[in-house]
Structures are given as C-alpha cells and as structure tokens.
C-alpha cells in the first residue's frame, strides 16, 4: 500500500511537464513564420486505425470503388492498412493521370506472392520503370507479342481450337450440356502454352494446365500481409506456404520447357562456328518462320550485343507473365461475349448471319476473316466495355502529383477503375445495355479503339504500363467466339428462364463470371469441316 501513494503525484508531474512542453512549443511556433497548411488530399470516407478502409472493401472490389466514387467523386483517397491509395473512376481523371503523370505512375506495386512468381521482379509485369523495363517492354511489344509474332503463331492458335470444338461436338452428339467455363480455360491455357513452346511434349502441356490455374489463383488472392505491417511474416492465411509449393512445381515445369527447347535447338543446329555464322546470315523471315516465344527469348538471351543481358530468371518470369495474364482474361472475355449474345438473340442472329455470309459453311471461320466481320468486332468491343478482363489498372506513384487540385503523395497506389469508366453515363448512352451498334459505322463509339488512346474506353489500360498483348487479344478472342457461334446452336442448360445469369465472381484479378457457363450445344455444321486438320 505504501508504494501506491506516489502514483497520483507522478501522474500529476507528467501532466504538468506535458503542459509546459506544449506551451513552450506553441510559444516557439508563434514566433516563427506560420507553417504551410498540410497537403489537400482527395476526398476520403471515414477510416479506422491500423486497417484504414480495408473494412469497406467488398468483392468485387471494382464495384466497391464505383460506389465510393458515386458518393465522393471521381478521385477518392483511401488507406488500405498502411498503404495510401487513390482511385480514379472517370475518363477525365484517367486522362489527367496518364497524360500528365505517366512517368510518375509507371511503377507497378509488387505483392509478396507476385515477387515470388516474378523471380524478384525479373519479368516484364513488375520490373521497376527504368532501363531494364524499357528493354523488356521493347522486346515484348516489337518481338515477343509484336504483330509479326502474332501472325506467325496463328496456326498454333488455330490448332489449339480443334480440341475445344471436338469436345463441344462430342457433347452435342450425347445431348449433354457443356461447361464452357472449364473448356474455355483449358483451351486458353493450351493455346498460350503452345505459343510459348510449340513443340512442348503433351505431358508438359497437361501439367501446365493445373499449375497455371494455381498460379493465377494465388496472384489474385488478397493477402493481408501486403497491407497491414503487423501481419507481415506471420502468413496468417497460409498463402506463402501454398505459394512456395506451387512455385517450386511451376519453376520445375519452366525448366523442363526451357531445357527441351535448348536440346531441340542444339540438335537441329550443328555446333561448329562456321555453320552457326551461316545460319545467322539467313533472311530474318526465314529464321523466324517457325519461332515461338521461347525461341525468341533464347535468341535474345544469347545476343552478346544486347544492351541488357536477358537472364534465365528473366525468361521464366516473362513466360509466367504471359501465361498468367493471358489465359484467364482471354477465356473470361470469350465467356462473357457468348453469355451476352445468348441474352440478346438479335445480336446473336446478326453475328451468325455475318459469319455465314462471309465464310459460308464449307470451312471454319478464322482470324484472317476478322477484317470482314465488323459486327462481330463491334460485339467484341461492347463486351470489353462492359466486362474488361482486368477491371482495375494498378499503378504506384514515385513522386508527389497534383491531380484535380489535390495532392497525391509519393508511393501511393493508383487504381484506375476501368470497369466504372466503361459504364460512365457521361460518355455512354444507356451505359448498362449491351449494344454493339454503338461501335458500328455511324454509332457514337465507331471511332473508339481499345488500345488506350481513348480514355472513356480503355479495357487494356493505357500509358507506359498498358497491356502489350492488345493485338493478340483482338485476334484470338473474337475468332474463338466466332467458331463457337458458327459451328453450334446454343441453349441454356436448365431451360427454365432461357437467360444466362450475369453475376460476377468475387475472387481473383480477372473480371470473371460467378457461375460456370452451362450451355447445351446443337451442331450446325455436322460434320465440322476440316476439324481434324485444324
């Protein structure tokens, strides 16, 4: 009891000292010139200590951001744990960010799991902006995913379509429904794997199916460690442990693909220097005719004159970027497009009649036919407007920015809500309606292209970090949909409503459908022309 007596005196002393310090600070500051006011941040909803606004986020996140913008405006500031973020939800704000601050927001935030699968940001997607990134970007845009390579690998994509059509034809013969969600993901992954390594053994391609799905699932998972410092290192969700196992298996698969390609190249090319020099003198078109993406990467890795040396980790990370970014988004876009056409029979009729008039029934429509199928391409653009594969473009600022008379601090995550911009009534008449006619000649959006130059329609992002695979998507996605529409009539599996539900999934990075797309096919072209030789 005797030790308890000094406590009130000690507390009183602490209070007195604190008041004296505050008084002295006020006296000193009053004699100095007034300090500038704190920077004006964009409007923000009420937050909580430690977690900030994490409690407000409900999947799918792009819809939550859209709701916040409806209350607070097109530029909103939020805090996810310790990470400061701004969300842009209008074309005007996106234009100001990309036109006025593109270099400042050219960074990409890298999560703990993304760092693992990108080999410490060795790939294109997460490499910091600088010479290494510019080299990889140039390699990606001009060669790996450039127009010439996309054209060269058209037969590979064409061949990958055959198993999909055969699976649907077999289901039609049995009178069964098809899980198109599953079949389209399988087709998309197989197509991209074959583009990466066209001569990969079938066992490797089959193994890649499950691993790619596992990697994309982990990269799209919300990891509390990335936002709340108190949780770092604890692996409360078990994601690090799961990712480590998947990464080991995926790395072994990539090594198997690279070694198989190296052995094939060594076997097909004699080792003497004179023959190699003669081989290099061949016309580029001749040497490139049968090159896949891994051939191009290996050739660049062996280029001693290159400004930046391409390492094995760069190649693995590059392949990971391509297969994870392209597989889910391509499959989801074909699925959304078919679902929209099912719910809009008049649009389906126009697409099918256009294909029949241009292609006929003696062969299966292909990518070479797309320039003569304007309504199909309009339906593709309208699908991208309503259901962009990546609904949010994610960047990070490297310096302070002034946007909309507000200050955005450095190291702020920048979210551009592509999904909300595509549905903005300021730019789109009847924005929630599926109307491909708006992209046809004479339509209000006839001049718009999805390559990032038009900020009211940027399904592939824009600026330096815009998606480099736009050209590939514009070829492969509508061609796959066209083949499904040309070859089969479709009916909703349950037959009750006749309509396909359009609910969105609340997991992953891709704007996917919530429920599997189950449709009952009936063959229109039976037997399918040249199905075996596709």
85 is in an annotated binding site: no
Q: H/E element holding 97? A: helix 91-101
Q: What are phi and psi of 193, to 5 degrees?
A: -60, -40
Omega of the bond prior to 223 within 30 degrees of 0, cis? Answer: no
Tokens of 164: 């999909």
DSSP-derived secondary structure for 431-444 = TTS--GGGGSTTST
367, β-bridge pairs:
none
79, β-bridge pairs:
84
491, β-bridge pairs:
520
| 3-state SS record for 444-481 | CCCCCCCCCCCCCCCCCCCHHHCCCCHHHHHHHHHHHH
Specify the DSSP class assigned to residue 67.
H
Closest CA to 246 of 218, 282, 279: 218
Dihedral of CA 221/226/227/230: which sign? positive
CA 255 to chain centre: 25
CB 122 within 8 A of CB 132: no
Distance, CA of 153 to CA of 322 (rounded, Å) = 15
Residue 303 Cα distances to 267, 296, 297, 316, angstroms? 20, 11, 10, 17
Tokens of 412: 């702020």
First CA to last CA across the chain, in angstroms?
A: 92
Closest CA to 161 of 202, 117, 192: 192
Four-point Cα dihedral 39, 41, 47, 53, nearest 10? -130
75, β-bridge pairs:
88
Closest CA to 421 of 454, 444, 451: 454
Closest CA to 389 of 462, 323, 465, 334: 334
Closest CA to 384 of 464, 481, 318: 481
Distance, CA of 344 to CA of 432 (rounded, Å) = 13
Distance, CA of 115 to CA of 123 (rounded, Å) = 10
CB 375 within 8 A of CB 523: no
Binding-site residue set: 467
Binding-site residue set for heme: 467
């Amino acid at each position: 009891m005797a030790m308890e007596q000094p406590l009130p005196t000690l507390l009183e002393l602490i209070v007195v000292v604190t008041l004296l310090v505050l008084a002295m600070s006020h006296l000193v500051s009053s004699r100095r010139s007034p300090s500038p006011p704190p920077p004006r941040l964009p409007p923000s909803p009420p937050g909580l200590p430690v977690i900030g606004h994490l409690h407000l986020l409900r999947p799918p996140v792009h819809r939550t951001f859209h709701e916040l913008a409806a209350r607070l405006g097109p530029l909103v500031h939020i805090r996810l744990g310790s990470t400061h973020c701004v969300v842009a939800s209008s074309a005007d704000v996106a234009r100001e960010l990309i036109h006025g601050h593109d270099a400042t927001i050219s960074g990409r935030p890298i999560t703990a799991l993304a760092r693992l699968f990108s080999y410490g940001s060795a790939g294109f997607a997460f490499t910091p902006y600088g010479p290494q990134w510019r080299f990889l970007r140039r390699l990606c845009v001009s060669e790996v995913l450039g127009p010439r390579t996309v054209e060269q690998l058209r037969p590979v994509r064409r061949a990958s379509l055959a198993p999909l059509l055969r699976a649907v034809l077999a289901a039609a013969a049995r009178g069964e429904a098809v899980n198109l969600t599953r079949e389209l993901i399988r087709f998309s992954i197989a197509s991209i794997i074959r583009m990466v390594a066209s001569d990969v053994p079938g066992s490797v391609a089959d193994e890649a199916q499950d691993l790619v799905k596992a990697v994309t699932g982990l990269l799209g998972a919300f990891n509390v460690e990335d936002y709340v410092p108190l949780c770092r290192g604890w692996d409360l969700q078990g994601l690090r442990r799961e990712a480590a196992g998947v990464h080991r298996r995926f790395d072994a698969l990539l090594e198997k693909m690279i070694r198989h390609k190296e052995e094939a190249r060594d076997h097909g090319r004699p080792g003497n220097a004179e023959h190699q020099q003669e081989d290099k003198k061949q016309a580029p078109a001749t040497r490139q005719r049968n090159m896949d993406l891994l051939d191009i990467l290996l050739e660049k890795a062996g280029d001693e004159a290159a400004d930046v040396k391409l390492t094995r980790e760069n190649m693995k990370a590059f392949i990971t970027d391509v297969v994870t970014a392209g597989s889910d988004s391509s499959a989801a876009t074909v699925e959304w497009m078919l679902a929209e056409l099912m719910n809009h029979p008049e649009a389906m009729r126009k697409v099918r009649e256009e294909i029949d008039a241009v292609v006929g029934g003696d062969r299966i429509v292909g990518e070479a036919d797309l320039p003569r199928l304007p309504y199909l391409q309009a339906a593709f653009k309208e699908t991208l407007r309503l259901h962009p594969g990546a609904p949010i473009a994610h960047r990070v600022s490297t310096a302070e920015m002034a946007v909309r008379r507000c200050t955005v601090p450095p190291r702020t995550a920048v979210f551009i809500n592509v999904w909300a911009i595509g549905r903005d009534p300021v730019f789109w008449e009847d924005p929630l309606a599926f109307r491909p006619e708006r992209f046809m000649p004479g339509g209000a959006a006839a001049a718009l292209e999805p390559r990032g130059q038009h900020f009211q329609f940027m399904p592939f992002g824009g600026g330096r970090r815009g998606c480099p695979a736009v050209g590939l998507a514009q070829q492969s996605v509508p061609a796959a949909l066209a083949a499904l529409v040309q070859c089969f009539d479709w009916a909703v599996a349950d037959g009750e409503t006749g309509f396909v539900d359009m609910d969105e999934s609340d997991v992953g990075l891709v704007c996917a459908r919530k429920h599997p797309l189950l449709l009952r096919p009936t063959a229109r072209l039976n037997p399918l022309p040249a199905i075996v030789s596709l």
